[in-house]
Structures are given as structure tokens and as C-alpha cells.
Amino acid sequence: MSSVLKDKSILLGITGSIAAYKAAEIVRLLKRRGASVYPVMTQAATHFIHPLTLTSLAAQEASLDLFEMKRGRMEHLSLAQLADLVLIAPVTANVMGKIAHGIADDLLTTTVMATKVPIILAPAMDEGMYENAVVQANIRELKSRGMHLIGPEEGELASGEVGKGRMSEPPKIVDYAERILQSRGDFAGKLFMVTAGPTREALDKVRFISSYSSGKMGYALAEEGIDRGARIILISGPSPLIPPPQAEFYSVETALEMRKRVMEKFSAVDGVLMAAAVSDFRPKLVHKSKIKKNACTSLKLDLVQNPDILKELGRIKKDKLLVGFCAETSSLKEKAEEKLKEKNLDLIVANDITLEGAGFGVDTNIVLLMDRDGEVTSLDRRSKREVARKIWDKVKELMPA
């Protein structure tokens, strides 16, 4: 089978990690899929793997010198121009920090600065270093600038300890690179709206009713959609997550605010992925000052129903594609099927929040996808980004040609 990597030029960056020895396998796998590979090494990387090894495998000279002239230009400009993709595997905490803060003091970081193609980073480091607050801030910054990160994974580390920090294995990295190149045009020219996070319904100036939703599923959907060429309107309830910079972002708090913003944008979009956990009810009366516990021994709340935004969209959707979500604690398939029909959806994503690794606040999910034709796909436990990928795959399948 032909690979999307065939005849593509991949700039493979290698930095100073013990995992650098795996770069040889990455070169071999990329070449096997028809790519031309241009190794670019930091000086630190040469302590772990010899440039001649990569030169021999890639059939391209491994580059290290920032001031070398090739193809009539400075090397970093030449490499930046010819690359279809930049893959840095392994990437150390040091090099991630440089890229995040615009430091370009060697051939690799200068080339990254000069390129406009997708950039994939495969981190490798000790768990303590990976969990450092500065490293995590740099990772958030890199993601916010549209860079793709794969891993690190849990496993045995160079220190002999077991923890998170091990570079993803070469086959997984190369598959990911292929997916990034292949999917960039899936939804080119399409505009989707994604809702995310919880809503909050005030009781008084201090307290509110809400859910445990973190927004992670909705934000993963927005990021995946952008990576696949879609323009994304992201409407989010309160969440600590950083929205993708490429998204048209709107922050809301209550269900009524979310409904207002969704309805404002609905006519312009090709589809909606309604991942937000919208409050079903709100207090009928919102106290203007803090309710004091010494003023009463019990408190009775009078609640009124919020509008069902998804059901309302289902009535007016016409040819727009509509994806709903439901979190249940029992009879998952039956309740998903009922909501799919009741709300006139094209696809529903259902999860049983009683299962470990599924539901609110965690990085993974276990879901069931049911489409308008009754086809059911069960996804076992996987990251929310991987679940998002499968949802967008299904959206692509359901979209009109």
C-alpha cells in the first residue's frame, strides 16, 4: 500500500538524549515508506549516536553546522525550504525550552524557526524532569503554537526507574507523522462549531450548580479538527484549559449564555460537535448576596429547566451535521439510541462514567459511537485525543461528498 510519506522530505532532528539511538530505526521506517530523510543533529546528540550512522541509513549527510552552505543557501534556510515535515525525535527538555522561547542558537533550532511546515516533537527525559513546572509550561506553549507532541510514554527510563518520560517507539512515531501529513486536508474549507466544558448556574454570589466536566474532550476535538484542516469555533464553559490559538474562541458561563452564542454562530457552520456538559436545570431565584448558613437550618432550591440546545439544533439543522454526547451510568446503548433519534442527530458519542478511565476530568475515555444508520462502534480505553480522532473519522464518513 502506498504511503502518504512517499516522495516527502522529512527533516529528522536528533537531540542529546539516550533515546537518540532509536533515531536509526526512525530513519529506516521513514525510508521504507518512501520518504527522503534529512538528519539534523545537535552537538549533544553526537555523544549518543554517530553522524555517520544516520548518514549511512538516510543516504543524506547528517547536518550539524549552522554556517555551512548547501544548495546555494545557508543550511538552515535550505533545510527549512525543502522539508514537508519536521520531526524531532528525541527532543530534550532543553531543546523544547529553546523552541518555546524562540532561542535559535544551533542548526536545528534555527531551522525550526525558519520553517512553516508541521512540526512533531517526541519528548524523552526522566519523569522528574518531565513533570517539572517549567517543562510543562513549555509544552503548553508549544501546543498553543500548533506544534504536535507525541508521548512521552510510561515505561523503563534510562535511570532504571519506571515512570513517564520514555520516548514513544519508532513505529508509533512514524505512524503519527504519516497521520499528520495525511489528515491536513480532510476538512479544508469547512467550518465546525465545538462546544466544551461545563456550564455554571449561580445560586448566589459565591455558589453555583455545575458538573465535573473539565472540557478535555471538547478541547481535544477542537485541536484534532484544526489539525485536519477545519476552521473551528470553540465555545467553552469554565475550564482551565488553553484553547487552540487557531480557533475562534468564545467563553461562556451559563447554559443560557451558551445557547445564545451557539445560535448566533449556527447558520454559518457545516456542523456542530456538542461536547459541552450543559446544565439541565438552573435555580429559579439567584440570591443577590451570599446565602448565610445561620439564616436557615435547611435550604430548598426551586429549579427550572434549561433549554435543550442540542434538541433545538436538531429541529433546525437541515443539511448540517450534528454530533451529540451523552454521559450515562446505566443502559448506555439504549439511552444513546433514544437520544440519537429524539434529537435528530447524525452521530452520538456515549460513555459510561462509572467505568474506570472514562468520563469527566481524566485524560482517557471509553466510548460508544452510534450513527444515524444505527451502526455502532465501541472504542476501548484510549486518550481523549485518540477518541477525538475516531470521532472526526466518523464525521468525515458522514459528511456529504
- Ligand-binding site membership of 245 (annotated): no
- Ligand-binding site membership of 103 (annotated): no
Running DSSP on this structure, what letter comes out for residue 198? B
- Ligand-binding site membership of 292 (annotated): no
CA distance 253 to 201: 8
- Count of other CB atoms within 10 angstroms of residue 376: 12
- Ligand-binding site membership of 118 (annotated): no
CA distance 329 to 100: 42
Helices 216-227, 384-398: axis angle to 10 degrees equals 60
- Ligand-binding site membership of 307 (annotated): yes
Euclidean distance between the first and final Cα of the chain, in Å? 24
Instruction: List strands edge to edge, sheet with 36-41.
Output: 36-41, 9-14, 85-91, 119-123, 148-149
Amino acid at 32: R
Beta strands in 242-320, from DSSP E residues, in sequence order: 248-251, 271-274, 281-283, 303-305
- Ligand-binding site membership of 343 (annotated): yes
- Ligand-binding site membership of 249 (annotated): no
- Ligand-binding site membership of 400 (annotated): no
CA distance 188 to 281: 38
Q: Which of 381, 358, 140, 188 is nearest to 390 (CA)?
A: 381
Q: Which stretches of 231-326 are DSSP H helices?
A: 255-266, 309-316
Q: Which residues are annotated as a binding site?
A: 280, 290, 307-310, 325, 339, 343
Q: Which residues are annotated as a binding site for CTP?
A: 280, 290, 307-310, 325, 339, 343
